[in-house]
């Protein structure tokens, strides 16, 4: 039996790193303010009480508000889409609302008769 251990071989359990939202963005996450904060602020513990969750999410959003890569983070979370946590100043529920609106708007534009450049610009 051949060993899978050796140079250049990753164990199967190691997930592939995620890529930025756009290839030309570069490693936006390296500049993220949240990298210096505790991850628990951005992701809910199991069975977190509602009041504690709301307080934690507001604290996470305050961190996001001062982050230089907040927009890139938000775009990443919407394109992936990230199902959990606070990303780019939006909670998972807020991102679901944004994605639903984006899908609805896209569907409306596809169905619009004679949708010229003015209608598409919206």
Q: pLDDT tens digits, residue range 5-35?
A: 444 443 344 333 333 344 444 588 889 998 8
Tens of pLDDT along 21-73? 444 445 888 899 988 877 789 998 889 999 999 999 999 999 999 999 999 99
Length of the chain, in residues: 122
Tokens linked to 70: 């907040």
The model carries a pTM of 0.66
Task: Identify the burial level of 60 via C-beta atoms within 10 angstroms of its C-beta, where 0-12 means exposed, 13-18 middle and 19 or more buried.
Answer: buried
CA distance 64 to 121: 29
Q: What is the pLDDT of residue 21?
A: 40
Phi, psi for residue 64 in degrees, rounded to 5: -60, -40
CA distance 29 to 80: 14
Q: Which of 99, 67, 93, 64 is nearest to 80 (CA)?
A: 99
Q: What is the pLDDT of residue 108?
A: 87
Residue 78 has pLDDT above 90, yes or no: yes
């Amino acid at each position: 039996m051949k060993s899978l251990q050796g140079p250049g071989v990753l164990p199967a359990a190691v997930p592939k790193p995620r890529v930025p939202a756009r290839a030309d963005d570069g490693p936006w996450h390296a500049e993220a303010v949240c990298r210096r904060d505790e991850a628990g602020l951005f992701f809910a513990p199991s069975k977190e009480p509602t009041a504690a969750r709301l307080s934690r999410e507001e604290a996470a959003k305050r961190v996001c508000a001062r982050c230089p890569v907040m927009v890139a983070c938000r775009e990443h979370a919407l394109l992936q889409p990230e199902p959990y946590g606070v990303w780019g100043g939006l909670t998972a529920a807020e991102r679901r609302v944004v994605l639903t609106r984006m899908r609805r708007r896209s569907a409306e534009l596809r169905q619009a008769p004679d949708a010229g450049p003015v209608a598409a610009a919206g």
